[in-house]
Amino acid sequence: MAASLTSRTLARPAFESAFEPPAFLAAMLAFEAALAAGEAAEGVIPPSSAAAIAQACKAVSFDVEALVAEAKRQGTLVVPFVKALRAATGAISRDAAEHVHHGSTTQDVLDTAMALCLKPCLDEADRSLEAAVRALARRAREHRATPMAGRTLMQPAVPITAGLKLARWATALAQDRERLADAAATGLAVQFGGAVGALEVLGAKGPAVRHRIALALGLADVPEWQSHRNNWIDLLDRLALVVVTACKIARDLALLGQAEVGEMREAPPQEGVGGSSAMPHKRNPVGCLHAIAAATRMPGLIATVHAGAAQLEHERALGGWQAELVAVPEIAGALGSSLDFLDTVASSLVIDAERMRANLAACGPAPASTDAVDELLGNLAPYLT
Amino acid sequence: MAASLTSRTLARPAFESAFEPPAFLAAMLAFEAALAAGEAAEGVIPPSSAAAIAQACKAVSFDVEALVAEAKRQGTLVVPFVKALRAATGAISRDAAEHVHHGSTTQDVLDTAMALCLKPCLDEADRSLEAAVRALARRAREHRATPMAGRTLMQPAVPITAGLKLARWATALAQDRERLADAAATGLAVQFGGAVGALEVLGAKGPAVRHRIALALGLADVPEWQSHRNNWIDLLDRLALVVVTACKIARDLALLGQAEVGEMREAPPQEGVGGSSAMPHKRNPVGCLHAIAAATRMPGLIATVHAGAAQLEHERALGGWQAELVAVPEIAGALGSSLDFLDTVASSLVIDAERMRANLAACGPAPASTDAVDELLGNLAPYLT
Amino acid sequence: MAASLTSRTLARPAFESAFEPPAFLAAMLAFEAALAAGEAAEGVIPPSSAAAIAQACKAVSFDVEALVAEAKRQGTLVVPFVKALRAATGAISRDAAEHVHHGSTTQDVLDTAMALCLKPCLDEADRSLEAAVRALARRAREHRATPMAGRTLMQPAVPITAGLKLARWATALAQDRERLADAAATGLAVQFGGAVGALEVLGAKGPAVRHRIALALGLADVPEWQSHRNNWIDLLDRLALVVVTACKIARDLALLGQAEVGEMREAPPQEGVGGSSAMPHKRNPVGCLHAIAAATRMPGLIATVHAGAAQLEHERALGGWQAELVAVPEIAGALGSSLDFLDTVASSLVIDAERMRANLAACGPAPASTDAVDELLGNLAPYLT
Amino acid sequence: MAASLTSRTLARPAFESAFEPPAFLAAMLAFEAALAAGEAAEGVIPPSSAAAIAQACKAVSFDVEALVAEAKRQGTLVVPFVKALRAATGAISRDAAEHVHHGSTTQDVLDTAMALCLKPCLDEADRSLEAAVRALARRAREHRATPMAGRTLMQPAVPITAGLKLARWATALAQDRERLADAAATGLAVQFGGAVGALEVLGAKGPAVRHRIALALGLADVPEWQSHRNNWIDLLDRLALVVVTACKIARDLALLGQAEVGEMREAPPQEGVGGSSAMPHKRNPVGCLHAIAAATRMPGLIATVHAGAAQLEHERALGGWQAELVAVPEIAGALGSSLDFLDTVASSLVIDAERMRANLAACGPAPASTDAVDELLGNLAPYLT
């Protein structure tokens, strides 16, 4: 889908642009250049062809509207893309033109480009997550003994400390971060299989070329995954778990920030943030809004990629795979909204210990122990340096 | 999310642009102009203010990037939008500026604009569906006695006629069309409730103003639906049913179009359609691809709007509603892809009665009766004139 | 799936038993008896055979465990079911045995039985919905002028009246009820198509037999819907909308019932309801729990039936349809949980006007108008007699 | 939901019984016994109490219907369960009765019991997966050079070898198996947190007691996860990936087993398997049916647990968590159906090299290289011993 105006108002700019035409075309070109270089290094095509292709990858420009129209007609973006790149290469060297995209196919380019475009998003997620964990761990240590009401099933239970709640949030995000890095190590991989995944044009040199492409692009080197995509889906699932945790925190903050509760807010009230077109005095929790909206969308998006991956006919799918071409940027977008929220929390979280004490009356006078929070803070030590 | 390059290659252009900034801003302005006109007609604001606002709605221009950035910061597109419109109105009449957006709120503008943007998509769907039903009904009549294999659980069963299969497709689409029109009659409605849905600023004049807005915009007039959205969700559900039927047909065609089967194709092979970057000789079923990819996405999108609608806190939601701001244009987009497929089928479906007869041997010699197809053709009579 | 212990603790007993072996087998037998009677009336089989089959349908008993095991092995419940019924019929009349299940197939029996089992659930839903609307409309009238805080994005907005909130709940449920009845009129239908949907064994008598079966079973008479199921899916979608509304109300009640808010509760505290294994003093909102858990599950279930319906290959699906055999009883189960909640609300809702007034201070002193609630109460007049 | 008859016909018996009352109550009792033993070992309760509780856990019996009814009324299964266990313990030792469930709460028992019930399912999955990988790897080696048509977008592409397709299936399953084992190592964990997750009743001894419970039950020892459940969700996600792969294989087999293609079948035709109530001659691919139906359901189930996990308010959720009480057994059930399919494939897969060669004509004469399959077979070496 095109960028609807309303969806843009929920997007993190860097994550928006990560899959827009300039970035995506650059990623496709990066694949083609790495492919040519790898094939030249393995003696599959002449070095001069690789050089010409590399030069063409820098020089070529695309009429995006025409490209999109032709891609739709063909059912693949790669046919008109390769045609344009081949023309640009031919302008440099007639011989090199026939070596463009040699031995490769649509899904090689698109899957690899998708991984390349997701990569900076994951790097940014890693940084945001680390910052959020550090900030929350520090606040947890600071409030390790601040009593507040524990609440279960939306009713007062027994007291906890604010530090315990904060340390749990930090722990959950730290685990999400680790899981994501773990999945990215194999899930962020080059896709290279040729027409039916057998790299039949390259014969025995296929794996070596693939290895070179992976190295050049900073992606994992694994056998083609065009019809068995679970390494990739696993990465998306784990990305979705970040969105889950962000939403849980946002839900807690929205509840704690109610006028009648007043124990925490995502940020201090600020002119020009969270206003209302009907009630200018309002200060809505905008970060929570982004995190909750993102998490409302994510289960459906994850369902989509699981459903698509389950119906990949034979050596390349008709429709099941292509659904990802829409869903993956959306998944990254939902992650972006969650990071926006986490960034706000990391920098601006407001904790009102007085209101916590006042509300505590509702669930009894008992002071809370700090054993549980201390256990979590111990685990979070690397983030508390 | 912004328009990823890959998602654009699956989109129907008119459905893409329906929610892009120019169209969506125009719809928001149409709401504000109709609001002012309605309030003037009911004596809530002076006619001169309504005239100035109408004029400003034509004159105002927006810096989309700045608008998006500010909308994100505020958590609502309507705050910066109204600010700009108020400024444009003030340039015409200082007094009128304060009457801009009078008694209204964010969700009034966005929900109504969303309905306005969906409207032409539904009109287009109606036309495509009618054409597809007509074409398929005619082909069904033509092949009412052409024998072909009936297949169940992916195995040969007993013979049917090609006409029966075609008449079923036509019948399903005709019913989808009728259901959609039925839901649109109440689901495509004005949203107008003010800050908390009570139109408290307008007092007893609220419903009359709402009625005038609805008339002006060609939408149904119903009480506000900001936190109970089932009329709207029902419309989206029924829209999703079109995508279901299109996918079922596409799946059948993809199966019938296999080299080993060869009984039907979505269209004759055509230069420049359905090529492959690795195998130039290929003619992939591009329409089927679009319909199947759309249907792979739709269950997740429908899950999203149901999930959002179930968690609409109090008088306006935090996140549950806003998830729709992304999902609804996506839902329309998936519908658009399905219509592209149906248009192809309506104009180009290829039926190979010879291959049908040849394959029939696998499931026995019995000729099929035409009673079942005749019953369906009777019901399809309005489409066979 | 079998009944997990934990799932049973969330189920409405009548909805549990509606799809359990006794009820489902009774529905399957009802189909077979109606089929035989219909075929006898149309001269397809001898009246004596229909009588014997009817008698066998009363006399036959099933070893459920053996039936399930054989059904799994065969991939269809109907093969061992018909075998047993044929044996029971043969014990009465050897000639009649061959007329059992004549001209019919697996999906005819299962789809029709599913509709028959869902029917009493829908009847019960209709009664619960009517009672809930009546109760809420009355409470709305009673509190039409009781001021309470309006809240948007989880923050105080401007005042509303309690009656407005209650009237909205009532209105939403009334609309859901009407929509459901509307969809049931065509969606609760007999399925009868024979091996490939053509009723080829019955020739021109097919529709007449189908009509007799529908009349006998109290279901709508429509042409077979084995691979185009949108009438049925539409019914399930609309059933899901009831769950959406119940959850929205439950969410509001859970928020209003927080200790710090205290404006409404689903019911007065009651010994033995909503206790905790750790905190015996607690009174958790059990009805809300059921409604929210049901609504958390429903989007996924609706996604399942949409996804299944989109991939129905040829004349009967391999897997896509069979997924419904699990999902439909689950969907009914989620509806049942929602009705449990609505029943509680209808009988026991607690409204604390004092706390409402006290909390109102947070969003300003203005008294709310009753225009909006009066409009809704006007529409609810049929429920206020 | 209770066991619908139809859902039972798709279930794997061992997976059905894993969550039924006997098994689930046994798991709950195992938790309580381990809790008491752990608390006794740490000096929290007297050893005599632990002994009495252990004895009561063996002796106690439950009236399941009464338990379910009371659980529903209370909103938790654990209140009536503990009441019964306390009574049984009191009959052995009055003093011990008060030590039953000491320091624990509902979610501790249910989450831990759920993990305990899932454990044997995962063990069985591991065995089935290993057997399937071994069988497919062997068949891949056997057919490493057997040429067959490669197919993309449902059209002939260029040739592959049958071994390549088989080796890909094996590789995907081997990776799923490894991923699952990896997630189980932390996701299959004890839950122990007490009223609000702080184990406040046990003070500094909490973690030591938890460690002892984990050891006794063979589960991982991690801090409580009642409101941050991503370790657990990650395990469920990875379990879902097995279902994805099984469905992809099933889809391929269903396509290859079409009468017009005839290259592979899940098993040889067998009397009493895959029959039809209308067409006794049919031999439907029952294993594929199970795998595809399971995969049609799974995306919705995964969406459910993600959605639930994102809305866990405060220290224990109202509804979001409880949705898992239904969903997790369903998820296991879908896995069970997939394993049934894999078991069939492992033992009975039919490969028709002759038909492969005959069909190959459609996509050209070129013989396929074995480089790609040899790379995969190298990685599968551990399964080829």
Which chains form contacts with chain D, at 3 or more CB pairs under 8 Å? A, B, C
Which chain D residues touch B258 with a CB distance below 8 Å?
154-155, 255, 258, 260-261
Secondary element (H or E) of residue B132: helix B106-142
Query: Rounded mean pLDDT of chain A?
Result: 95
pLDDT at B366 over 80: no
Tens digit of pLDDT for each residue in A50-69?
999 999 999 999 999 999 99
Tens digit of pLDDT for each residue in B275-308?
888 777 788 999 999 999 999 999 999 999 999 9
Length of chain A as a residue count: 385
Tens digit of pLDDT for each residue in A334-378?
999 999 999 999 999 999 999 999 999 766 666 668 999 999 999
Residue B348: what pLDDT? Answer: 97
Q: Residue written as tokens 């009191």?
A: D90
CA atoms of C91 and C52, how far apart (whole Å): 9
Q: What residues are paired with D155 via a beta bridge?
A: D152
Longest dimension (CA), chain A: 84
Least CB–CB distance from C154: residue in B204, B313, B379: B313
**Does the beta-carbon distance from A151 to D313 stay under 8 Å?**
yes
Running DSSP on this structure, what letter comes out for residue D189? B
Q: Which of B139, B168, B212, B316 does the annotation list as catalytic?
A: B316
**Interface probe, candidates B108, B129, B191, B200, chain C, greatest C C-beta count within 10 A:** B200
Q: Residue written as tokens 């049929």?
A: C382
Residue D364: what pLDDT? Answer: 65
| Residue B122 CA neighbour count, 13 Å, CB half | 25
pLDDT at C375 over 80: yes
Residue A70: what pLDDT? Answer: 96
Q: What is the mean pLDDT of residues C3-27?
A: 95
d(CA C68, nearest CA chain D) in Å: 5
Q: Residue written as tokens 């009412």?
A: B144
CA atoms of D383 and D90, how far apart (whole Å): 54
Question: Reduced to 3 states, what is the DSSP secondary structure of residue B180?
Answer: helix
Neighbour-count burial of A385, counting CB atoms closer than 10 A to its CB (0-12 exposed, 13-18 middle, 19+ buried) = exposed
pLDDT at D92 over 90: yes
pLDDT band at residue D367 using 50, 70 and 90 as cut-offs: low
CA atoms of D155 and D166, how far apart (whole Å): 19
> Which residues 6+ apart lie within 8 Å of D120 measured at CB?
D14, D18
> Which residues 6+ apart lie within 8 Å of D374 measured at CB?
D144
Beta strands in D101-235 (DSSP E): 147-152, 155-161
Phi, psi of D10 (to 5 degrees): -110, 0
Query: Could you give the ipTM of this predicted complex?
Result: 0.97
pLDDT band at residue C157 using 50, 70 and 90 as cut-offs: very high
DSSP D358-384: HHHGGG-SPPPPSHHHHHHHHHTGGG-
Residue C48: what pLDDT? Answer: 98
Q: Which of D8, D73, D127, D276 does the annotation list as catalytic?
A: D276
Residue A2: what pLDDT? Answer: 47
Which chain A residues touch B257 with a CB distance below 8 Å?
none
CA atoms of A128 and C173, how far apart (whole Å): 43
Tens digit of pLDDT for each residue in A254-308?
999 999 999 999 999 988 888 888 787 788 999 999 999 999 999 999 999 999 9
CA atoms of A69 and C232, how far apart (whole Å): 37
Between B349-363, C207-221, D59-73, D141-155, the lowest mean confidence (pLDDT) is in: B349-363
Residues above pLDDT 70, as percent of chain A:
98
What does the angle CA D275 – CA D280 – CA D284 come to, to the nearest 5 degrees? 30
Residue D68: what pLDDT? Answer: 96
**Does the beta-carbon distance from B274 to A110 stay under 8 Å?**
no
**Does the beta-carbon distance from B156 to D259 stay under 8 Å?**
yes
pLDDT at B332 over 60: yes
Residues of D near B (Cβ–Cβ under 8 Å) read 149, 152-158, 254-255, 257-261, 274, 276, 278-279, 282-285, 288-289, 299-300, 303, 307, 311, 359, 362-363
CA atoms of A193 and A316, how far apart (whole Å): 11
pLDDT at A3 over 90: no
Tokens, residue C261: 């808010």
Residue B316 among the catalytic residues: yes
Tens digit of pLDDT for each residue in B28-50?
999 999 999 999 999 999 999 99
Higher pLDDT, D316 or B280: D316
pLDDT band at residue B273 using 50, 70 and 90 as cut-offs: confident
> Which residues 6+ apart lie within 8 Å of B63 measured at CB?
none
Question: Reduced to 3 states, what is the DSSP secondary structure of residue C160?
Answer: strand
pLDDT at A28 over 80: yes
> Which residues 6+ apart lie within 8 Å of B140 measured at CB?
B162, B163, B164, B166, B167, B170, B373, B376, B377, B380
Tens digit of pLDDT for each residue in B171-199?
999 999 999 999 999 999 999 999 999 99
**Interface probe, candidates B42, B176, B236, B315, chain C, greatest C C-beta count within 10 A:** B315
pTM of the model: 0.97
Sign of the torsion formed by the C-alpha atoms of A259, A264, A265 and A267 = positive
C371-379 and C162-187 helices, crossing angle to 10°: 30
**Interface probe, candidates C155, C284, C296, C312, chain A, greatest A C-beta count within 10 A:** C155
Give me the numbers of helices (H) and strands (E) for chain D, helices first please: 15, 4
Residue type, A79: V
Residue C276: what pLDDT? Answer: 82
Residue C358: what pLDDT? Answer: 94
**Does the beta-carbon distance from D318 to C284 stay under 8 Å?**
yes
> Which residues 6+ apart lie within 8 Å of D50 measured at CB?
D36, D37, D39, D40, D96, D99
Query: Rounded mean pLDDT of chain D?
Result: 95
Tens digit of pLDDT for each residue in B84-122?
999 999 999 999 999 999 999 999 999 999 999 999 999
pLDDT band at residue B2 using 50, 70 and 90 as cut-offs: very low
Tens digit of pLDDT for each residue in C296-342?
999 999 999 999 999 999 999 999 999 999 999 999 999 999 999 99
Residue type, B345: V
**Does the beta-carbon distance from C248 to B153 stay under 8 Å?**
no
DSSP C348-367: H-EE-HHHHHHHHGGG-SPP
Residues above pLDDT 90, as percent of chain D:
92
Q: What is the mean pLDDT of residues D140-145?
A: 96
Buried b vs exposed e over D321-358: b needs ≥16 C-beta within 10 Å?
Answer: bbbbbbbbbbbbbbbbbbbbbbbbbbeebbbbeebbee
Contact B232, B328 (CB under 8 A): no
pLDDT at D2 over 80: no
Least CB–CB distance from A5: residue in B20, B277, B302: B20
Residue A363: what pLDDT? Answer: 64
pLDDT at C366 over 80: no
Distances (CA, A) of D288 to B50, C316, D284, D295: 65, 14, 9, 10
Contact C72, D272 (CB under 8 A): no
**Does the beta-carbon distance from B276 to A303 stay under 8 Å?**
no
Residues above pLDDT 90, as percent of chain B:
92
pLDDT band at residue B206 using 50, 70 and 90 as cut-offs: very high
Phi, psi of C120 (to 5 degrees): -65, -30
Q: Are strands B147-152 and D350-351 parallel, antiparallel or unpaired?
A: unpaired
